[in-house]
Amino acid sequence: MILHGQAMPGNQSQPWLVFLHGFSGDNREWQPAGETLDRLPRLYLDLPGHGASADIQVASFAQLDALLRATLDSYNILKYWLVGYSLGGRVALFHACQQPAGLCGVIVEGAHPGLTSEEARAERSANDSQWAASFRQQPLPEVFDAWYRQPVFASLSDAERSALVALRSRNNGASLAAMLEATSLARQPDLRAALRELPFPIHYLYGEHDSKFQALATQVSRRCHAIPAAGHNAHRENPATVATALARILRLEIKDPL
């Protein structure tokens, strides 16, 4: 079993860019920001419970990591960068902390390194269980309208929120609920110590209006990049600037003009 993906050709002598979307997104989420990086081969994946991988379920981060490895093997991807947003960023950080052969570096946007107390884990577990029940039992437009009114999305305008609600409501509620439970922040280990030991670079993008994740950024990496005119979902709100940031980072790190 492997994840569904959309591969884009590029210079096969260069490392692949493997893009991981956020909760309730799919492989299209990163494409506007990634399409300008056409010198590099790119793979846009659907995570379990999402897009064309909606029928795939995992029970833990370890199972998801094994599935990601199998997917990369199926494409014969030997050298790669991971680029992940929010949930996809957490998946990328977990994968990086296993120090897999072939991983050259990681770029995350709005990704949490993990909770640090049992009290916080218990609170998050209860909160995610409530959301999972809503996804299973209630109409998705209602659930997503409430989802995008959480404080982390406070920078969204009414029109932006409505557009996201319409887009995300195309998902399957039960599939989203299963993935939310399996990859809850309550079940993710605190990765901070492991991240400090990595032999490859991690870059962190955050929207300038996303104060929560701006504060978390320096706990993940010394290589932090603010994206202007954006909140938590910076690559959707300001794709051109995120694309520029990705190109700048990759020019620096792979030492090849894009």
Q: Phi, psi (5° rounding) for residue 42?
A: -130, 145
For the chain, which residues make up each domain, given as ranges?
Answer: 5-115+188-254
User: Does the structure show a pLDDT above 80 at 258?
Assistant: no
Q: Are strands 80-85 and 202-207 parallel, antiparallel or unpaired?
A: unpaired
Rounded Cα distance between 254 and 211, Å, is 30
What's the confidence (pLDDT) of residue 197? Answer: 96
Question: Per-residue pLDDT tens for 186-218?
Answer: 999 999 999 999 999 999 999 999 999 999 999
Question: What confidence tier does 256 reach under pLDDT thresholds 50, 70, 90?
Answer: low
pLDDT digits (tens, 9 = 90+) for 48-98: 999 999 999 999 999 999 999 999 999 999 999 999 999 999 999 999 999
Average pLDDT, rounded, for the chain = 96
Alpha-carbon gap, residue 222 to 197, rounded angstroms:
13
What superfamily in CATH does domain 5-115+188-254 come from? Alpha/Beta hydrolase fold, catalytic domain (3.40.50.1820)
Whether residue 15 is predicted with pLDDT greater than 80 in this model: the reply is: yes
SS3 78: coil
Dihedral sign, CA of 71, 73, 74, 80? positive
Rounded to the nearest angstrom, the gap between the alpha carbon of residue 89 and the centroid of all alpha carbons in its chain is 3
Query: pTM for this one?
Result: 0.97
Q: 30, 85 in Cβ contact below 8 A?
A: yes
